[in-house]
């Protein structure tokens, strides 16, 4: 599983990455993380605002902070 956090490195982007890492650990799944900070790469995705969470190239959320439960739901196989 490839997980991308889209954002320039703001506090919300970092918090989203932390929550997602915690959810991955909770579920005991294997995932590779990438924090995409370059605007040209972020703009390649259909997002209008950051932070955004992309799981296996599918945008799950953008522009808001999801709950831990939402993230766990998106990560479950």
* Residues annotated catalytic, as ranges: 10, 13
Q: List b or e across 43-68, with b for residues whose CB sees 16 or more CB atoms inside 10 angstroms.
A: eebebeebbbbbbeeeebbbeeebee
Q: In 1-76, at which residue ranges do the beta strands (DSSP E only) sit? A: 2-6, 32-36, 52-55, 58-62
Point out which residues pair with 58 in neighbouring strands.
Answer: 55
């Amino acid at each position: 599983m490839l997980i991308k956090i889209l954002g320039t490195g703001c506090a919300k982007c970092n918090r989203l990455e932390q929550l997602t890492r915690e959810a991955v650990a909770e579920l005991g799944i294997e995932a590779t993380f990438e924090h995409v900070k370059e605007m040209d790469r972020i703009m390649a995705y259909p997002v209008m605002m950051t932070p955004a969470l992309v799981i296996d190239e599918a945008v799950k959320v953008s522009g808001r902070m999801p709950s831990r439960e939402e993230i766990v739901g998106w990560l479950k196989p």
